[in-house]
């Protein structure tokens, strides 16, 4: 798939590819999903620079960090340079960014959510029936909020999911429901034009940039618990990072207005979020 195929036929709006990362080094560890919104022209420019920098290598942060696969044998200095230049490309061309995370040990046992026969509630329950799906919803909600808050339209964003992600069946069912729903609250929630499920071919910058952000955000949550500072690469993505606890756990925002939002859910706070979500999308 070419990047241009991810946008409406008029070439407007944004495309966002969502990527997931699970910290397997920690039992029942942090699960995160992240993505960046690119406009069509900016996505094309970013893709050209990305392919020139990586020259056919597939940037998975786990591989780069551990010097595995395409990055085997790289020195720490060369690995650091590649990451710095990759983040620089992202920063020059993306418009919005969002990430979401949770602890599998805290919320995993709450899924799937029981069905009750209430149409809207059950559609939402099916759509967020795993930590992966819940984080996808949160990232889409953040992106939708940024688009609408900056004057964008309610149908401006195409969301892209790489085929094969665990838990994708429920997400696919949910986004198709949102696309077909007569309740405008669903589409408005995400500023959704549509959703696509595609292989990585031709979408390198969209997918691999999201991979960097999801990895960096999960590591940030773990580093905070150990009292460690923010990694320069994550701070660069945010353009300066401001953190604040909230009723769900913690949300970080860019010091540049309407640029990046990332949230971490703690305990059963997702349950409150689910109840509020139902209220948001109810028909009048």
Per-residue model confidence (pLDDT) at position 284: 41
CATH number of the domain bearing residue 110: 3.30.420
Q: What is the pLDDT of residue 68?
A: 94
Q: What is the mean pLDDT of each run of 10 residues along the chain (284 residues)?
A: 74 91 81 95 94 92 94 95 97 97 82 81 79 90 96 93 74 84 77 85 84 96 93 96 87 95 87 78 56
Do the domain assignments include residue 246? Answer: yes
What is the pLDDT at residue 169? Answer: 78
Is-contact 82 199, C-beta < 8 A?
no
28 within a domain of the structure (yes/no): yes
Domain contains 251 = yes
Look at residues 89, 48, 72, 113 and name the one whose alpha carbon lies nearest to residue 274.
113
Predicted pLDDT of residue 26: 75
Number of structural domains found in the chain:
1
User: Is 125 part of any domain?
Assistant: yes
Report the alpha-carbon angle 194-129-156, nearest 5: 20
| Average pLDDT score, the chain | 88
* CB within 8 Å of 226: residues ≥ 6 apart: none
Residue 274 lies in a domain: yes
Q: Is residue 224 part of a domain?
A: yes
Q: Flag whether 4 is in a domain.
A: no
Per-residue pLDDT at 254: 97
276 within domain boundaries: yes
Residue 267: per-residue pLDDT: 78
Segment (H or E) for 237 = helix 232-238
Domain that holds residue 72: 13-281
């Amino acid at each position: 798939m070419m990047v241009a195929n991810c946008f409406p036929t008029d070439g407007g709006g944004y495309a966002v590819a969502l990527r997931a990362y699970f910290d397997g080094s920690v039992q029942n560890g942090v699960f995160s999903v992240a993505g960046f919104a690119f406009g069509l022209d900016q996505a094309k420019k970013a893709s050209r620079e990305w392919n020139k920098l990586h020259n056919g290598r597939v940037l998975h942060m786990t591989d780069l960090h551990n010097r595995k696969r395409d990055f085997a044998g790289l020195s720490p200095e060369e690995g650091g340079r590649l990451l710095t230049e990759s983040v620089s490309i992202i920063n020059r061309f993306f418009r919005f960014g969002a990430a979401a995370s949770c602890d599998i040990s805290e919320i995993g046992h709450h899924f799937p959510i029981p069905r009750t026969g209430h149409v809207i509630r059950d559609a939402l329950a099916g759509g967020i029936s795993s930590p992966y799906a819940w984080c996808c919803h949160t990232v889409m909600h953040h992106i939708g909020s940024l688009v609408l808050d900056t004057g964008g339209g309610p149908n401006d964003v195409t969301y892209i999911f790489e085929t094969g992600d665990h838990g994708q069946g429920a997400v696919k069912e949910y986004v198709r429901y949102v696309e077909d729903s007569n309740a405008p609250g669903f589409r408005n929630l995400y500023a959704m034009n549509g959703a696509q499920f595609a292989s990585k071919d031709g979408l390198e910058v969209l997918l691999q940039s999201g991979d960097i952000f999801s990895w960096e955000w999960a590591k940030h949550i773990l580093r905070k618990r150990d009292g460690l500072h923010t990694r320069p690469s994550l701070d660069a993505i945010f353009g300066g990072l401001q953190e604040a606890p909230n009723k769900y756990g913690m949300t970080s925002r860019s010091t540049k207005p309407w640029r990046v939002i990332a949230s971490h859910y703690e305990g059963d706070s997702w349950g409150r979020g689910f109840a509020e979500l139902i209220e948001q999308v109810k028909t009048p």
